Amino acid sequence: MTELRDWIIYWLELYGPAGYVLSIGINVVISLLGVVPSVFLTAANLAVFGLAEGMILSWAGEAIGAVVSFVLYRKGLRRAADHRVLHLNWIQRLLDAEGKESFMLILALRFLPFVPSGVITLIAALGRTSLPVFVTASSLGKIPAILIEGYSVYQMLKWGWQGKLLLSLAAVLMIVLLFRKRSVPKQNNNPQSGSG
């Protein structure tokens, strides 16, 4: 991982101002692959561009990469998806969600460090989430993740596991509240239901 980071640092420095575009391009590739961690790219961005610019660049790259992935997944994978494997409760929830509920679910899931970013993008693309809702929720949700990742790389895990735990608990609480709100049974107003 260190060798990969050093290799990226070399190319970012070599390209000068065009290194910004190169970094975003690498982030798009990472997003499309879906399984490659972006921490080494964040570390390279911070080393080359500094704390503030490096984190902004990493956030922009991840946000753009998520949007590109969403569009490509929606166009290419929606028909080919095997919906039998999409059986987890939160996956079904995100597949069926629209509007505000979809926004809140994506935002909450982006806060969870143990849920792969590519999986969230793929499920949202296969479901009913609109592109504007996805772009807004995903981009906002990536801000805390980039802050945590950036500061942990730049300041030797200053936030540590306590901060990540608090953020994860907040995200889980948001998801639980969404599930509870949607699962409240609707009252039956049928006047014939009580007649025998």
Predicted confidence (pLDDT) at residue 61 exceeds the cutoff of 90 = yes
How many Cα neighbours within 13 Å face the side chain of 30? 20
Asked if residue 195 is part of any domain, the answer here is no
In a domain, 115, yes or no: yes
Q: Which domain holds residue 170?
A: 2-182
Q: How confident is the model at residue 179 (pLDDT cuts 50, 70, 90)?
A: confident
Alpha carbons 160 and 112: distance in angstroms, whole number:
15
Assigned domain for 192 exists: no
Among 112, 121, 91, 136, smallest CA distance to 28 is for 121
Number of compact structural domains in the chain:
1
Enter the pTM of the model.
0.69
Residue 105 in any domain: the answer is yes
Spacing of C-alpha 70 from chain mean position: 11
Is the residue at 190 inside a domain?
no
Inside any domain, residue 70: yes
Which residue type occupies 63? Answer: A
Q: Average pLDDT of 134-138?
A: 94
Evaluate whether residue 188 is within a structural domain.
no
Does residue 100 form part of some domain? yes
